[in-house]
Amino acid sequence: MTLQIHTIVSQPFEENTYIVWREGRTEALVIDPGLEPNLILDCLAEHRLTPVAILNTHGHADHIGGNTALKEAFPQAPIVIGEHEAIMLTDPWVNLSAVFGSPVVSPPADRTVTAGETIDYAGIPLEVRFTPGHSPGHIVFVHRAQPTLIFGGDVLFRGSIGRYDFPGGSLAMLLTSIREQLFSLPDDSMVYPGHGPVTTIGHERRTNPFLTR
C-alpha cells in the first residue's frame, strides 16, 4: 500500500494538518484540521479527494479549528476523537480557545475511540494508542506499514515534546506515554507531529534532550 501524505501548516500556531490517501484512490483522511480550513478544502479540490473521516488526535482548538468547515462541506465524514477528549469539541473553555478570546467550537463527535481499537477509513487501517500528558485524553494513530507511520499530534516533536502546562497536562504522564506507546515501535517509524518537521522514533530515542537524560 502506497500512501500519499500532504501537510498543510495552519497559522497562527503553525499546526500541521495531514491529508492522507491511498495512491490511485479518491477517498482521504483529514487528520487534525487546523484553523485555516480553506487551505484544506483547496488541497482536497486540487487533488480531487473526498474526505471519508475527520480524525482528531486531541481537542485543543488549533487541532479542531477546521472541523466545522469540513463537516459542512462533507457531512458524511464522521468526526473521530478519543473518548476522553470529546467534550473539548463543543466547549471553548475546555479546548482553551475562549481563554485566548477567540472561541472555537466543533460539531460533536460522530465516533469516539479507545486505546487498542483499530479503525479503517479510506482503506487505511490505523491503530489507536492512548498517549495522555499534553491533554488528558490524547491519542495517536499508528499505521503499520514499512516503515510504520505515527500521526502523533502534540506528544513527540523533533527534538522536543508537547507542552504539559495546560489544564490536564502532566510531564510524567507525557514521558510515560512516549516511552511506552511510541518508543515501543521500531526505530524507523516515522512521526508526523502536530507542529514542526517529520522525525523518526530512532532519532528521538537517541537525541531528544527530554528523553535521553
Q: Each residue of 2-56: pLDDT tens digit?
A: 899 999 999 999 999 999 999 999 999 999 999 999 999 999 999 999 999 999 9
Per-residue pLDDT at 100: 84
What are the structural domains of the chain? Answer: 3-207 (3.60.15.10)
More confident residue, 99 or 8: 8
Across the chain, what does the average pLDDT equal?
97
Who's near 71: CB < 8 A, 6+ residues apart?
A: 54, 77, 79, 106, 107
Average pLDDT over residues 59-70: 98
Per-residue pLDDT at 212: 86
Q: Each residue of 49-61: pLDDT tens digit?
A: 999 999 999 999 9
Q: Each residue of 83-97: pLDDT tens digit?
A: 999 999 999 999 999
Which of 29, 38, 34 lies closest to 6, judged by CA? 29
The continuous run of DSSP H or E covering 160 comes out as strand 160-161
**Is residue 188's pLDDT more than 80?**
yes
Average pLDDT over residues 68-90: 98
**Is residue 213's pLDDT more than 80?**
no
**Is residue 187's pLDDT more than 90?**
yes
**Is residue 101's pLDDT more than 90?**
no
Which of 113, 111, 112, 141 lies closest to 125, judged by CA? 141
Q: Each residue of 108-163: pLDDT tens digit?
A: 999 999 999 999 999 999 999 999 999 999 999 999 999 999 999 999 999 999 99
Task: Supply the pTM of this predicted model.
Answer: 0.96
Q: Which grid cell sits at 29?
A: 483522511
**Helix/strand/coil (H, E, C) string of 141-187?**
EEECCCCCEEEEECCEECCEECCCCCCCCCHHHHHHHHHHHHCCCCC
